[in-house]
């Protein structure tokens, strides 16, 4: 099979940052599905892994976590899918990725692809939808209101991949009032189209911008730059509120949250698959629900840019674009 990856981590502009190779076709065993990949999307985790994570023993490390495709074969213990099923998933950080014609993935972290979407549109969703869902409903517990929090959430980085689906889930599933941050006219338009009730500029004072709206949100979801905005988050969030972060808070002092008794929540979508947790199948259930909500018209794809076929050169362009911080929604590639 054709696969794209790297042997030595480094910057994307290096000639061998991503290369194409022929690898043996994998074989499905246990609860694994063998999926023929039709489309993938690029996430910040892809670029971080490529830049710094070593490949094992100089072997090609295949990246890619989001994918949509067709089940080619199943392991003997599989019960949820059969060959021919259309699926989408975010994979595992501990296994070879989706930048290959064929991929093995545990059925417990795979969902039925939305029937109303193309493969490219579906591939934009899994990793970010899982991250946003787990943060909103499992970590922040947004269905349990914060008194004095205005039934509101501030989504920092609203036009990014996670922010784009978090806005929709918070608004259309949880019924929250959504304040999203965006710093450019096109990204402000994007988050409004996704359902944001108000937009504030994260290049300015977030505390002042939110205060001008007359609300102290009970929930803050910092999808990016939590350390940079930490002081203003402490200032603007309602007492006894809940703060969710993906990439940590860096050198910010978490003790500053104590005065308002703020709960700090971390989210990593790969935790369940990395540790084979007893509730690992919840990711299958979550993706099935996301698929249902898409087909019902409640949620929409977050595809922002289609970079064409899945080649080393196009993946390099996609990695560079994601690293630039200018991506809106998700960057997708389709077809080998």
Kindly state the helix (H) or strand (E) to which residue 112 belongs, with its residue range. strand 110-112
CB–CB of 220/166 below 8 Å? no
Question: Which tokens is 131 given?
Answer: 């991250």
pLDDT at 74: 98
Question: Which tokens is 2 given?
Answer: 């054709």
101 Cβ neighbours under 8 A, 6+ residues apart: 1, 2, 3, 36, 37, 336
Kindly state the helix (H) or strand (E) to which residue 87 belongs, with its residue range. strand 86-89
For the chain, give the mean pLDDT.
97
238-262 pLDDT, tens digit each: 999 999 999 899 999 999 999 999 9
pLDDT at 78: 98
pLDDT at 56: 79
83-99 pLDDT, tens digit each: 999 999 999 999 999 99
- Give dist(CA 110, CA 88) in Å, integer: 6
- Give dist(CA 194, CA 198) in Å, integer: 11
Q: Which of 120, 35, 27 is nearest to 82 (CA)?
A: 35
- Give dist(CA 5, CA 8) in Å, integer: 9
Residue 57, pLDDT > 90, answer no
Q: For 163-179, b where at least 16 C-beta lie within 10 A, e where not — what string?
A: bbbbbbbbbbbbebbbb
Q: Which of 219, 222, 190, 197 is nearest to 300 (CA)?
A: 190
Q: State mean pLDDT over 183-206.
A: 95
In Å, how far from its chain's centre is CA 138?
Answer: 15
Question: What residue ranges in the chain does DSSP mark as E strands?
Answer: 2-6, 19-22, 32-42, 61-62, 66-74, 86-89, 102-106, 110-112, 152-156, 177-181, 198-200, 219-222, 242-245, 263-266, 303-306, 330-334
pLDDT at 58: 73
- Give dist(CA 321, CA 188) in Å, integer: 19
pLDDT at 28: 98
The pLDDT confidence band at residue 185, using thresholds 50, 70 and 90, is: very high
């Amino acid at each position: 099979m054709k696969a794209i990856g790297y042997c030595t981590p480094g910057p994307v502009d290096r000639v061998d940052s991503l290369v194409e190779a022929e690898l043996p076709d994998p074989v499905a065993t246990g609860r694994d599905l063998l999926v023929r990949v039709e489309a993938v999307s690029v996430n910040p985790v892809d670029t971080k892994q490529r830049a710094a994570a070593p490949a094992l023993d100089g072997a090609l490390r295949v990246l890619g976590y989001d994918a949509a495709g067709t089940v080619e074969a199943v392991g003997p213990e599989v019960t949820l899918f059969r060959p021919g099923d259309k699926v989408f998933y975010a994979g595992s950080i501990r296994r070879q990725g989706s930048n290959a014609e064929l991929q093995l993935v545990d059925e417990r972290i795979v969902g039925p692809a939305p029937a109303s979407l193309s493969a490219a549109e579906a591939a934009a969703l899994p990793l970010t939808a899982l991250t946003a869902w787990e943060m909103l409903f499992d970590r922040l517990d947004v269905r349990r209101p914060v008194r004095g929090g205005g039934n509101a959430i501030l989504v920092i980085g609203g036009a990014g991949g996670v922010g784009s689906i978090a806005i929709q889930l918070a608004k259309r599933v949880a019924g929250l009032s959504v304040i999203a941050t965006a710093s450019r006219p096109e990204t402000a338009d994007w988050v409004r189209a996704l359902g944001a009730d108000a937009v504030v500029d994260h290049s300015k004072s977030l505390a002042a911008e939110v205060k001008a709206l007359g609300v102290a949100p009970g929930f803050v979801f910092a999808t990016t730059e939590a350390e940079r905005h930490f002081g203003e988050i402490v200032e603007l969030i309602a007492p006894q509120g809940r703060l969710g972060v993906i990439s940590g808070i860096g050198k910010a002092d978490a003790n500053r949250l104590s005065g308002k008794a703020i709960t700090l929540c971390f989210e990593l979508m790969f935790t369940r698959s990395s540790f084979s947790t007893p509730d690992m199948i919840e990711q299958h259930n979550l993706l099935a629900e996301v698929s249902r909500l898409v087909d019902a018209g409640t949620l929409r794809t977050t595809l922002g840019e289609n970079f064409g076929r899945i080649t080393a050169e196009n993946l390099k362009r996609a990695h560079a674009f994601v690293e630039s911080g200018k991506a809106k929604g998700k960057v997708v590639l389709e077809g080998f």
